[in-house]
Homo-oligomer: A and B are copies of this chain.
Amino acid sequence: MQLAKPLAPGAMIGILGGGQLGRMLALAAAQLGFKCHIYAPETASPAFQVSAAHTIGAYTDFAALGRFAKAVDVVTYEFENVPAETAAFFEGRVPLNPNVAALRTAQDRFDEKTFIAGLGIPVAPFAAVAGEASLEAAIERIGRPAILKTRRFGYDGKGQTKIAADTSAAAAWAEIGKAPAILEGYVNFDTEISVIAARGLDGAIAIYDVPENRHQNHILHTSTVPAAIASGIAEEARAIGSRIIAALDYVGVMGIEMFAGANGLVVNEIAPRVHNSGHWTMDACQVSQFEQHIRAICGWPLGGTYRHSDVVMINLLGGDAETWKDLAADPAAIIHLYGKLEARRGRKMGHVNRLTPRQS
Known A-B contacts A50-B51, A286-B355; the reply to A31 vs B337 at CB < 8 A is yes
Cα-based distance from A29 to B35 in the complex (angstroms): 18
Known A-B contacts A48-B52, A325-B6; the reply to A331 vs B303 at CB < 8 A is yes
The verdict on A339 contacting chain B, using a C-beta distance below 8 Å, is: yes
Cα-based distance from A286 to B329 in the complex (angstroms): 14
Partner of A334, one of B6, B34, B287: B287
Closest to A334 in B: B286
Q: Are A27 and B23 closer than 8 Å at their CB atoms? A: no
Q: List chain B residues, Cβ under 8 A from A335.
A: 31-32
Residue interface mask A3-23, B partner, CB < 8 A = 1: 000101110000000000001
Cα-based distance from A78 to B34 in the complex (angstroms): 21
Residue interface mask A258-284, B partner, CB < 8 A = 1: 000000000000000000000000010
The verdict on A33 contacting chain B, using a C-beta distance below 8 Å, is: yes
The verdict on A137 contacting chain B, using a C-beta distance below 8 Å, is: no
Known A-B contacts A9-B321, A50-B51, A301-B328; the reply to A308 vs B339 at CB < 8 A is no
* Interface bin, chain A: 35 or more
Q: List chain B residues, Cβ under 8 A from A321.
A: 9, 33
The verdict on A115 contacting chain B, using a C-beta distance below 8 Å, is: no
The verdict on A300 contacting chain B, using a C-beta distance below 8 Å, is: yes
Cα-based distance from A50 to B54 in the complex (angstroms): 12
Q: List chain B residues, Cβ under 8 A from A23.
A: 30
Q: Are A337 and B27 closer than 8 Å at their CB atoms? A: no
Partner of A355, one of B32, B308, B355: B308
Binding site for B on A (CB under 8 A): 6, 8-10, 23, 26-27, 30-35, 48-52, 283, 286-287, 295, 300-301, 303-304, 306, 308-309, 321, 324-325, 328-329, 331-332, 334-339, 341, 350, 355, 357
16 contacts between A and B (CB under 8 A): A6-B328, A9-B321, A9-B337, A10-B341, A27-B27, A27-B31, A30-B339, A31-B336, A31-B337, A33-B324, A49-B51, A286-B332, A286-B334, A301-B329, A306-B355, A308-B309
Q: Which 4 A-B pairs have the closest CB atoms?
A: A33-B337, A304-B331, A49-B52, A300-B328
